Amino acid sequence: MKTNYDIRFAAHPEDVKTYDTARLRKEHLVGKLFAADEVNMVYSMYDRLVVGGVMPVDEVILLEAIDPLKASFFLSGRELGIYNVGGKGRVMVGDAVFDLGFKEALYLGMGDREVRFESLEPGRPSKFYFNSAVAHCTYPDRKITKADAVVAEMGSLEGSNHRCINKMIVSQVLPTCRLQMGMTELKPGSVWNTMPAHTHLRRMEAYFYFEVDEGRAVCHFMGEPGETRHIWMQNEQAVISPEWSIHSAAGTGSYTFIWGMSGENLDYGDQDFYLETELR
C-alpha cells in the first residue's frame, strides 16, 4: 500500500481574483483520489478538512496518520465520514467491522484506533471517499444508509435543477463535532446543483463529483458572488470551496455529488443566498 498527501493553504479572496486557470486548479481541485491499493488525500487549511480516497484492490489498506497530523492514529484528534462509491467493501475500526454497499456511509468518532479498508467483490474494487474534520470529543460510530437520511427534494425540471438532497452525516441523523456530509442526486434531465448559489462564512465545503459518464464533464463554479470563477471537472474528482466562496455546478450530463462541510456550527440552514441575477 501507499499513502500520498498534499497540503493546501488558505487564501484571501482578493488574492484568488489574480489566479489563472492553472493556479486555481492547483489550489482547489483534488484531481486524483482513487488508485489501486493507495490512499490519496489533501490536507486543507480551510478549517483543516482532509479530503481523500481509498481504493483497495489486492490489499487491506491502513489509513495512516500523515505527518502533518502529528498523531499516533489518524483518528486521534479527528472524526471521519466515509462514503463507498464502488463495489461492496468493508471498514475495520479497532475490533468493529462495517460493511458498506454502494452509496452507503459511515461516521467514525475521534479515538485512538486503526482504520482499515477492504474490497469484498473480486474484480469490482470498493472506492471509499472520505472527509475528516478536527474533533473535540468522541461520538459513537455509525453506519448510515439512504433510508436513514433526511431527504429534501428541491428545484424543478423547468429550472434544470430537480434534485434530492440526502442529508446523512448531519445533526438530525447523528451527533458529530464539526463534520457534516450528504449526497445530492439529480433527477433525469436536470444538470444544475445548489441554485440559488450561497455562501456560509462559518463553514467551508468540499464537493466530490461521481457518476459522471465517460466523455462528460461538470463545470464547478466558485469565488465571490460578484466575481465568480469556474473549474472544469471529470468523474471522481473533488474541489475545495472556501467559506467566502459560492459552490455550484452544471454538468454536460447526469451526475451525483457528495458534499462535506466543516467549521464553526452545524446549522445546515445557516446560508447567505444570492439571486441568479446578482452573480457576476
Flag whether pLDDT at 268 surpasses 90.
no
Phi, psi of 36 (to 5 degrees): -55, 125
pLDDT higher than 90, residue 81? yes
Lookup: cell for 254: 447526469
The pLDDT assigned to 195 comes to 87
Give the per-residue pLDDT at 269. 81
Q: What is the pLDDT of residue 267?
A: 83
Q: What is the pTM of this model?
A: 0.97
Angle at 266 (CA atoms; ends 13, 163), nearest 5 degrees:
80
* Mean pLDDT, the chain, whole residue set: 96
Determine which helix (DSSP H) or strand (DSSP E) holds 211, and give its type and residue range: none
Where is average pLDDT lowest: 65-69, 222-226, 254-258, 264-268? 264-268
Structural domains of the chain, ranges and CATH numbers in brackets:
2-278 (2.60.120.10)
| 241 pLDDT tier (thresholds 50, 70, 90) | very high
Q: What pLDDT, on the 0 to 100 scale, is given for residue 265?
A: 85
The grid cell for 276 is: 441568479
pLDDT beyond 90 at 66: yes
In tens, the pLDDT along 196-231 reads 899 999 999 999 999 999 999 999 999 999 999 999
| C-alpha to C-alpha distances, 63 to 3, 54, 227, nearest whole angstrom | 8, 9, 38
What's the pLDDT at 270? 86
Give the three-state DSSP class for 177: coil
Residue 172 pLDDT: 95
Provide the pLDDT for residue 180: 98
Q: Which three cell numbers stand for residue 228?
A: 465568480
Q: What is the residue-wise DSSP string for 94-108?
A: TTEEEEE-TT-EEEE
Over pLDDT 70: what percentage of the chain? 100
* Range name among 172-181, 182-191, 268-277 with the lowest pLDDT average: 268-277
